[in-house]
Chain A
Amino acid sequence: MAKLHGMAKRDARSTRIAATVFLFPAVALLIIYMVYPIFDTFRISSLKWNGFYTSEKINVGFDNWVELLHDELFWISFLHNIILMVCSILIQIPLGMALATFLDAGGRKFNIFKILWFLPYLMSSVAVGFLFYYLLATNGGLISGVASLFAGKRSLVDLLGKSPHALYAVIGVVAWQYTPFYMVYFIAGYSNIDTSLYEAAVIDGANRRQYIFKVAIPLLGPIFKTACTMSLIGSLKYFDLIWNMTQGGPNHGTELMATYMYKTSFQKFNMGYGSAIAGGMFILITVIALLFTKVFVVKEDY
């Protein structure tokens, strides 16, 4: 008995050691690349500093934060992020789910669609940005070309150069890029539903339509919630594609918090205030994401 006890103890200890060893790399990476930068961002946000190692760092306390609260441009950027977020959730997730439903119903013979529709997500944001920059170009772009064809004369459609057109054009491109991701996500969700549930529904006399709306979609609830949360966080910190298409222009019409932060830190040489913007983003995104997961409660089991 005593011996067994000792073995159990040894077991527990070796489990602890193994856990520590296996966790160490991940925790170390998280601390170095996530935790430390977050704290450092907040530290830098209290400085007046242009970002050069050799230049003077002046402690200004909460000055940058006070300025941030009164910075109209920051709140305009935030508003654009919110518009992007709402549109992303309203477009990408239903569309992704519709495509997934279609593919799920079709089974293997629709594999070609699965591949084609997934392609946009495989392209890097920079490539997508350039692709659509040329596609939407006022002079020589596809849209202008088609418009000229219908108008019967040379007509120029300026989608990216005017507000608010530019923001919605960009939202469309973002949807094009990310819908496939949610499609795959929902396909995985569908395949996780036990076939016995489908069989039970069929035996109970449900048709395909009733099965999807009454059984499958409610079961996808948790997936739906995670997808929304991901889309929400993604939209709030979005940067690369917008930067490549419009650089936040025209006249801040597509300015997002992240592009504003980048411009302030690296183009205006104002690292302190840039860090305050980054800190503001961090707080806003965390609060919104937490609120969302709290408000949007889904029953996790069936």
Chain B
Amino acid sequence: MKKLVALILAVLMVFGTLTVVTAEGGKNIPELTKEPLEILLWDIATEGVGRKAQEDAVARFMADYPNIHVTQVHKQNDTYKQDLQIGFSAKEGQPDMYIHWGGGPMAEYYKSGCANDITELFNTYDHPDFIDAAIAQSTYDGKVLAIPFGGLSGCDIFYNKQIFADLGIEVPQTITELEAACDKLIENGYVPFALANLPRWTGSMYYMYLVARHSGNAEFDAAYDGTGSFTSPAFIYAGNKIQDWVKKGYFNEGFNSMAPDNNDDRALLIQGVAAMMLHGSWQVAGVKNDDEEFYNNNLGVFRFPIDEEAQAAGVPQNVEIGTAIGNGFSFNCWLDAEHTQVDEEKLKACYVMATQYYNDDTYNAIQVEGGNTPSIKGYENVDDPNNKVVIDVFFSASNVQLWYDQYLPASVTEVHKDMMGELFGLNKTPEEVGQAQDEAMKAAREE
């Protein structure tokens, strides 16, 4: 009996020291205030795995720092950007820590004084070993502005393996082969691509990929900074291809009134009406949730085929579209309403919460369980065959171009999306579409 007690005590002591080591010695994190502190946090975790993971993270943080209280407000995804803007328009009640998708809006928040520059914290203290693309997408103008926590998303073509096998279609490697496959599908009564283009960022995926395959990042970057134009060859090529595909019936009827939020496009794929769908990699989990049988028997994924002519001309064919951060947290901690003095204590607390509680092993385990891949090194190996394709494509990319509709400034994004509607609706020529985007981009640069 005595021995047992001694053993237990010994074990406890060992664990005790271990805990001390991890809490103080092992990690280089800022010491947080002992005073009571209130943090207002806005996220969009209204349901599902994300909500559990995020509420747990906040609970763990508050358990370790009982003097700090975090109020977590779950906002609706669809109206979140507007809510946030209205929040920022008020003198008081602004969130101290909030989710966003990076890109143009993140820059806008920073320029408007609603996002703290955390470069120094990021370089001084511990944080997860994020992949480079994630850090790049959390950075604007050389300043780190966000901590990623949502996981990465690629953009790939989902297809019905059964239909491909029945018609003897091989997974296309080039755009020419893709077109041949589409023609064969139409001959046999299938819709080649399921598309729900009401919000128009879905149509934008085709445009982005065709531009990327034709010119890598070169022409988009040039159009963005004004040295080039949205009417340069790759954009015209992409516009013409899309309009050609629309005319040939590569997309389902009525795509302009269908919404991906209602999964109208996914339904066409699962019902076997459409054979393919270019979409974000969250569809892996989406299809699995909708119809596990279809997922196991029919669903396959392949990367957007290469442009063989461009490849011959030396254009890299591994620029991929997607997001390396998914969601990021930015911080809005200030001592005064005019946002001139940083509230260092609060900022440190937010930083610790975002890097050590969100993004910790417990959090990431829930993420992986839910089919997400954290933007952290070491999570490249996944078992699911479809997820594996997505991750492999993502990690072999020479560059990951963030979705245009998140990368561009907010005013240009709306024009870009409008133009995608016009392009797919055959109302405007690729030249006109390019000119409209050039004008918006020029106006945004002048601001």
A positions within 8 Å CB-CB of B: 50-55, 133-134, 136-140, 156-162, 166, 246-247, 249-252, 263, 266-271
Q: Tell me the count of chain B residues lying within 8 A, CB to CB, of chain A.
A: 44
> Which B residues lie within 8 Å of A270 (CB)?
411
With A54-B339, A267-B414 known as contacts, the answer to whether A246 contacts B82 (CB < 8 A) is no
Residue with the highest number of chain A CB atoms closer than 10 Å, among B81, B85, B255, B339? B85
Query: Are B410 and A138 in contact (CB-based, < 8 A)?
Result: no
> Which A residues lie within 8 Å of B82 (CB)?
266-267
> Which A residues lie within 8 Å of B253 (CB)?
138-139, 156, 158
Chain A min CB distance to B82 (Å): 4
Residue with the highest number of chain B CB atoms closer than 10 Å, among A54, A138, A156? A54
> Which A residues lie within 8 Å of B200 (CB)?
249
- Report the bound CA distance from A249 to B259 in whole Å: 12
Query: Are A52 and B114 in contact (CB-based, < 8 A)?
Result: yes
With A52-B88, A52-B89, A138-B258 known as contacts, the answer to whether A268 contacts B410 (CB < 8 A) is yes
- Report the bound CA distance from A157 to B199 in whole Å: 20
Within 8 A of A (CB), among B225-268: 252-259, 262, 264, 267-268
> Which A residues lie within 8 Å of B114 (CB)?
52, 54
> Which B residues lie within 8 Å of A271 (CB)?
89
- Report the bound CA distance from A249 to B427 in whole Å: 13
Which of A139, A140, A156, A249 is B256 in contact with, Cβ under 8 Å? A249
B198 within 8 A of A: yes
Which of B89, B413, B418 is A51 in contact with, Cβ under 8 Å? B89
- Report the bound CA distance from A148 to B262 in whole Å: 22
Query: Are A51 and B257 in contact (CB-based, < 8 A)?
Result: no
B positions within 8 Å CB-CB of A: 81-82, 85-86, 88-91, 94, 105, 108-109, 111-114, 198-200, 252-259, 262, 264, 267-268, 273, 337-339, 410-411, 413-414, 418, 421-422, 425, 427
- Report the bound CA distance from A160 to B257 in whole Å: 5
Query: Are B88 and A266 in contact (CB-based, < 8 A)?
Result: no
Chain B min CB distance to A145 (Å): 13
Query: Are A53 and B88 in contact (CB-based, < 8 A)?
Result: yes
B440 to A, closest residue via Cβ: A268
Residue with the highest number of chain A CB atoms closer than 10 Å, among B111, B254, B418? B254
With A50-B108, A54-B88, A156-B254 known as contacts, the answer to whether A268 contacts B113 (CB < 8 A) is no
Chain B min CB distance to A98 (Å): 31
A49 to B, closest residue via Cβ: B89
> Which B residues lie within 8 Å of A250 (CB)?
198, 256-257, 421, 425
Query: Are A55 and B425 in contact (CB-based, < 8 A)?
Result: no
Majority secondary structure, A binding face: loop
Query: A-B pairs with CB below 8 Å: how many?
Result: 111
- Report the bound CA distance from A60 to B257 in whole Å: 38
Which of B86, B105, B111, B257 is A159 in contact with, Cβ under 8 Å? B257
> Which A residues lie within 8 Å of B273 (CB)?
139
What are 27 A-B pairs at a CB distance below 8 A?
A: A52-B85, A52-B109, A52-B112, A52-B114, A53-B94, A54-B114, A55-B112, A133-B259, A136-B257, A138-B252, A138-B257, A139-B268, A139-B273, A156-B254, A160-B256, A246-B257, A251-B418, A251-B421, A251-B425, A263-B414, A266-B86, A267-B414, A268-B410, A269-B108, A269-B410, A269-B411, A270-B411
- Report the bound CA distance from A247 to B259 in whole Å: 11
Query: Are B112 and A50 in contact (CB-based, < 8 A)?
Result: yes
Query: Are A139 and B264 in contact (CB-based, < 8 A)?
Result: yes
> Which B residues lie within 8 Å of A166 (CB)?
257
A138 to B, closest residue via Cβ: B254
- Report the bound CA distance from A50 to B105 in whole Å: 11
- Report the bound CA distance from A55 to B85 in whole Å: 12
Chain A min CB distance to B193 (Å): 14
Residue with the highest number of chain B CB atoms closer than 10 Å, among A53, A140, A247, A270? A53
Chain A min CB distance to B246 (Å): 12
> Which A residues lie within 8 Å of B252 (CB)?
138-139, 156
B415 to A, closest residue via Cβ: A268
> Which A residues lie within 8 Å of B421 (CB)?
249-251
- Report the bound CA distance from A158 to B418 in whole Å: 19
Chain A min CB distance to B408 (Å): 11
Chain A min CB distance to B201 (Å): 12
> Which B residues lie within 8 Å of A247 (CB)?
198-199
- Report the bound CA distance from A139 to B257 in whole Å: 10
- Report the bound CA distance from A268 to B408 in whole Å: 11
- Report the bound CA distance from A182 to B129 in whole Å: 64
Query: Are A266 and B85 in contact (CB-based, < 8 A)?
Result: yes
> Which B residues lie within 8 Å of A157 (CB)?
254
With A52-B113, A247-B198 known as contacts, the answer to whether A268 contacts B108 (CB < 8 A) is no
